[in-house]
Structure 1
Amino acid sequence: MKGQLYLIPNTLGESPIERNLPQDTIDIIRSIKHFVVENVRSARRFLKKVDKNIDIDDLTFFVLDKHTNPNDIPGFLKPAYNGNKLGLLSEAGCPGVADPGADVVKLAHENKVQVIPLVGPSSILLSVMASGLNGQSFAFNGYIPLKKGEVGKHIKHLEERSIREKQTQLFIEAPYRNIKVLQEILAACRPQTRLCIACDITLETEFIQTKTIAQWKSKLPEINKRPAIFLILG
């Protein structure tokens, strides 16, 4: 009998495990001995936060990142083929959502390994919930293009799509580029377009506010080098 692939959410920053994960999720994590992770060091640190008594040396880790050879990925599922529990752990938030883990989940389905998503934080869903924008129709667009001259054009395209489809558009940027992207948003979008900035979600420094572009121009928030999601609705 084959095992199961558990999709394990991670905290969104240095916040207490008990604030982010229900007890059932914690109990399941404790029972898993094989993990697919993006970074072994941060995965070990997370697991020790879950339970300081976990024997890290007794665990097996498979690394899935941008350097992973696609031909190696099928081998990651061997523990599940042998009847063991396999955990897919994201660096932050939920595996398979804006995350390379989707490739492992795809193979699990193809090979009839049961896939079980566990409850935990998703910055995408939490930001939509708190934005007051359209939660019936929204799209996550990942990172903004980095090529010079394309940032403003891309944001304008997302605003037009938002207006046309009445759909909230979400996107992110590397924390150190937050201010630059915010300036591009304010320059590209219409005054009446609503913009939600959701920063440090679930942390003590959490900041979530929605205003029109015109209102944001009067005072910019301090979000430099802080994980943030931007949501617009024209």
Structure 2
Amino acid sequence: MSDPADNPRDFTVLGQSRAAPRPEPALYLVATPIGNLGDITLRALEIIAGADRLACEDTRVTGKLLQRFSIERRMTAYHEHNAEEAGPALIEAVAAGQSVALVSDAGTPLVSDPGYRLVQQAHEAGVRVVPIPGASAPVAALAASGLPSDAFFFAGFLPQKEKARAERLEELARVPGTLVLFEAPHRIAASLAAMAAVFPERRAAVCRELTKMHETVYRGLLPELAAGFAAMAEVRGEIVVCIAPPAAEAVAEVGEADRILAGLLAEMKPAKAAQEAARLTGLARRDLYRRALDMKGR
């Protein structure tokens, strides 16, 4: 069965049918709602309906979006398990003069999904890439958190294993901005406990089910949030955690420690340099040793 790209497709908004023009040849990165389907933009609907090809993570998820806006068309699966095969075919389609729309299951493509590979391939092939902005869970959470938003760092998901998670949090402790992370509901209590151990003085916001019926934002110091979630019988839904940045004094302290470490490493091995830096700065030797190894390239 052919997908009649040469014929105009329609979509329906608020009960009214609108025609979707055929976009120019390009790879379009189309943001879709993170929960509430009403957050889709008119431009996104035009591209989704009008593009020659529609690539998505899960055809079942995208199918619900198409059904909501009365869009009838075929979809091409593009996800981490078939990216090697599906990616080149999509790039070839654009190079041959077609328009390709890429959507993720929710939010903006490339934010914590495999779409970046496709964009890399597009640039290498000289194919035009066009972002169609819209919903983004990290930005929505940051806006709702009440935490500083002039500088922030999106860190995706933390490692699942306890040791690796603690090490990653220690690395993130030096970031001079609000941290934004994703977490699964069955791991949120353990992750908050780990965060509280590294950042006991920092405020945070746990944003759950953003834009959906049971949207909730929990705010407080990390130890308070960790205790609260540990007491919950069950946690459900999509979760984004925002953590306040370190105090200016802490950032300056870390910078001074790095300067001292760099000087000591010129004459000492990492373990000895960390021990001496700990004596001079009062910071934890374990953290300084890890930093020394990073400086030496392990």
TM range (shorter): 0.7 to 0.9
SS in 1 for 2:29: strand
Alignment match, 1:184: 194
Matched, 1:5 2:27: yes
Query: Match for 1:229: what amino acid?
Result: V
Are the structure 2 counterparts of residues 214 and 40 from structure 1 closer, same or farther at C-alpha, using a change threshold of 3 Å? closer
Matched, 1:172 2:185: no
Matches of 1:117 and 1:64, distance apart in 2: 17
Are the structure 2 counterparts of residues 88 and 215 from structure 1 closer, same or farther at C-alpha, using a change threshold of 3 Å? same
Superposition pairs of residues 1-234 of structure 1, within 5 angstroms: 3-13=25-35, 15=36, 17-18=37-38, 20-49=39-68, 51-52=69-70, 54-56=71-73, 59-61=74-76, 63-68=77-82, 70=84, 72-158=86-172, 160-162=173-175, 166-190=176-200, 192-216=201-225, 219-220=228-229, 224-233=235-244, 234=246
How many pairs align? 220
Cα deviation digits, residues 55-104 of structure 1 (max 9, x gap): 23xx241x322222525421122322222221101011100111111111
SS in 2 for 1:161: coil
SS in 2 for 1:109: helix
Normalising by structure 1, report the TM-score.
0.82
Normalising by structure 2, report the TM-score.
0.66
Are 1:168 and 1:231, in contact at CA under 8 Å, matched by a contact in 2?
A: yes
SS in 2 for 1:175: coil
Identity of aligned residues (%): 24
Matches of 1:76 and 1:9, distance apart in 2: 18
Deviation at 1:170, TM superposition (A): 1.7
Are 1:94 and 1:120, in contact at CA under 8 Å, matched by a contact in 2?
A: yes
Are the structure 2 counterparts of residues 72 and 133 from structure 1 closer, same or farther at C-alpha, using a change threshold of 3 Å? same
Query: Match for 2:240: what amino acid?
Result: I
Matches of 1:71 and 1:31, distance apart in 2: 24
Deviation at 1:173, TM superposition (A): 1.9
Are 2:192 and 2:225, in contact at CA under 8 Å, matched by a contact in 1?
A: no
Are 2:48 and 2:54, in contact at CA under 8 Å, matched by a contact in 1?
A: no
More helix by proportion, 1 or 2? 2
Larger radius of gyration: 2
Are 1:177 and 1:225, in contact at CA under 8 Å, matched by a contact in 2?
A: no
Matches of 1:30 and 1:39, distance apart in 2: 17
SS in 2 for 1:141: strand
Matches of 1:69 and 1:157, distance apart in 2: 31
Of 34-43 and 215-224, the range deviating more from structure 2: 215-224
